Each structure stands twice: as C-alpha cells, then as structure tokens.
Structure 1
C-alpha cells in the first residue's frame, strides 16, 4: 500500500443499495474497509448476504459489529411484537424506521475512519426510491458531515471527512443498472425486512416491492429468491 492509497469505510447491510455503493467505491479506486451491524434486526440473514458480497468483491476487511438496538425496540425491524406492514402509508414515517439507526451507524463508521486515516465514508441512503426515513435525507447527511469535522481530531486538524452518498438522487432502476455495469451479482443480496433463515424474501413488504419494481423498471431479470406464500382468496 502506498501513501496515495485512498481509503474508505463503507457501510454494508447486505441489501441491494449498500452492495451497489460498495461496488461503486471500489470502482472509484478506494481501498474499502467494510462495516456491517448485527443490531437485533428481524432478518439477520442479511448479514450472511453482507459477508457474501464483501467476499465476492474482495474488500480489504469486513467487520460485523454487534449492537443491541432491540433493547430499545420502537421499530418493526427490532421488535417482533410490531408487525411489518405490507403497504406503507404515504406521508407517514413507517414503523420499519429504526430510531437513530443511521446516526449510530455513521458515528461508528466515523470512529473507524479516523483510526484508519480514511477520509471517505460511503452509505447507501437514497431520497428518491426510499421508505420515508428521516435519516436518509440530504439535510441529515450534510449535518452529520459537519458534525464529523467538528467532533474529531482529524477534522479539527484540517483532515476533513466526506460522507459519500452516490445513490442519493438515483432511482432504484438506475441503481440496479449501475450495479449491473459493475458486474455486481444481486443474487447475493437480501433486501427483505423479514427474510426467512434461508435468506428468501417475503415478496410483500415495502422493501421487497421497491426492489422488485426496480428490476422491472431496469429491464433486468430479478434474481431474488422468494418464499412460497399461500394466501386465502
């Protein structure tokens, strides 16, 4: 490794968006240090997907950090007593929002970035095809980047951090097209809020709907493995 090597910390959930971001960071010449979180989420099989993606893309290192956000609850993703809805209500922050999740994730990524002397942190937030989460908005990212450069030794020493959000203004179809261009295998990813232990998607949650529509709009075959769901007429 040379002094000119660009380092980045990349947040990887195992889903479609974060996998695409990782592929984009690698394509931009970054040495990628990948960070995933076991935060008590309903579907932990996404962590298996994150490991598979990180291995397939040959990242420098991949760390999985255990957090206990299920101790707080407050989200259908961390509290099994709250049902995952099949259809989100427009204009309302959905029950799948995990309180302060991206703030926590970015804070830990910032700590790792400072230790590694990485100046870029990549996250797959999106303000176009997303579920209405407040911590996916450009205003939040800008505020966190400012905080990062005020609250760290590196930042106040003039070694500024940049929060990279390459998907922010892209549609799901555009994201998929970019991943395909980069040779990403979307069959490795898991986006479902309630995938089963084998990583098969439910096909009905908001995340599954957005993902499926993205493949249709992109004109790309959907490699997602779905559960067999029997419904009463």
Structure 2
C-alpha cells in the first residue's frame, strides 16, 4: 500500500508548527521545507531546525536570498521598523511580495520530485493581517496553476484557513502539542521565542488568541 505523504511549508512559527503536527496526524510521512531568505531573525530557521530534529521530521532548507533583494521590508531590513498598527490603505510593511507564491511553488517542485501530492501551509484568511497571499482564493488559484504548470496533481491543504488564533491554539490543544507551540515556536517579529516581545502585531495576535482560548477551556 502506498503511503500518504505531505510536504509542509515550515517556518517554526505557531501556525506552521501547528500545521506540521496536524499533518503528522493526517499523513503517514511528513517532510518539512523551510526557506532562508535572509530574514532579519535567523533564529527563526534555527527554531525550525530544532523542532524538526527533536521530533524526527525530515527537513529541507532552501536558499531564497534573492527574495530578500527583491522585496525589502520590515522582516528583512534592520532599518525598517515593523508597523505598530495596520495601515488604513495597502498592506503592512511586514508583507513580503510574492513570498507565499514562491514558497508554495518550490514546495510543489520538491513534492513532485518525491512523488508527493499533498502540500500543507499555515495561511489563514481569518487572521491574515491584510496579506493578499493568505486568502483562500489565492490558494485555490495557485493550486490550479501548479497543476497545469507541472502536469501533476497537487492538493494544497490549509487547515487554518477559516479559523482564528484562539481556534488555532485549540487545534494545538486537541493535537496534544500545546506545550510545544507555547514554548518552542517563534512568531514574534522581534525574534523572541515563546510569548515573544508581547508588543509587535504578531505577538498581540498570538497572545490575544491565547487568552481567548484559555477562557474557552
């Protein structure tokens, strides 16, 4: 019997780590793909490596430094400070143009080479922070494009698409990995693991969701 396998786009953050363990429940074999685009906090990549090594997950780290050159933003440049509030127009300065499209495309190339049809990513339209490449319509569109471009059937899974951060915490709880998500992931835009700096937009979203989740227990 053929094993069901999946490639997970994995950054070491709350969402992608939750998706990683979701995939481990759903598939017989999981491969993590992490992208090094010279992001401001290299600890993000180290965090992803530690999780994969600790829990026995095959990981591939791909060099995408060209993305850093093409799309300067608050996550790649020390001189650009993260917006404290969401802009009234346009995207936040933490948005990296083309990032999810490029990540998923490379993940698809790896998946096809390994004979894998399933790709998992942690994007969410409920908590998408104004990023257009986290929307369901984009994922569905790219899924069709990848199938046509490679002559291969991919299925992009987005387990967080229609749930908010509190529900994402609850999913981690249901999967039995709440402690891992709490202590071992890096979501903070200022590069602090766990609870983070508690001030940047990513930390505020994460911690607000956590408080709502705890009240629901």
Give the TM-score normalised by the residue count of structure 2. 0.91
Aligned position for 1:45: 43
Question: How many angstroms apart in 2 are the aligned matches of 1:51 and 1:147?
Answer: 30
Question: How many angstroms apart in 2 are the aligned matches of 1:100 and 1:121?
Answer: 18
The 8 Å contact of residues 128 and 135 in structure 2, kept in 1 or not, is answered as no
Aligned position for 1:201: 196
Q: Secondary structure at the match of 2:75?
A: coil
Aligned position for 1:144: 142
Q: Which has the larger radius of gyration?
A: 1
Deviation (angstroms), 1:89: 2.5
Question: How many angstroms apart in 2 are the aligned matches of 1:123 and 1:183?
Answer: 20
Q: Secondary structure at the match of 2:32?
A: strand
Aligned position for 2:28: 30
Question: How many angstroms apart in 2 are the aligned matches of 1:86 and 1:171?
Answer: 20
The 8 Å contact of residues 125 and 162 in structure 2, kept in 1 or not, is answered as yes
User: Post-superposition, which runs of at least 4 consecutive aligned residues in structure 1 deviate over 6 A?
Assistant: none
Question: How many angstroms apart in 2 are the aligned matches of 1:91 and 1:49?
Answer: 33
The 8 Å contact of residues 6 and 27 in structure 2, kept in 1 or not, is answered as no
Question: How many angstroms apart in 1 are the aligned matches of 2:163 and 2:55?
Answer: 22
2:6 to 5, 8, 11: 8
Does 1:170 find its partner at 2:163? yes
1:94 to 68, 83, 92: 92
Aligned position for 1:62: 59
Question: How many angstroms apart in 2 are the aligned matches of 1:183 and 1:163?
Answer: 24
Deviation (angstroms), 1:100: 0.3
Deviation (angstroms), 1:90: 4.7
How many residues align? The count is: 211
Aligned position for 1:188: 184
Taking a change above 3 Å as real, the CA distance of residues 35 and 175 of structure 1, as seen in their structure-2 partners, is same
Greater fraction of residues in helix: 2
Aligned position for 1:217: 212
Deviation (angstroms), 1:85: 1.8
Aligned alpha-carbon RMSD (Å): 1.7
Unaligned runs of 5+ in 2: none
Unaligned runs of 5+ in 1: 221-233
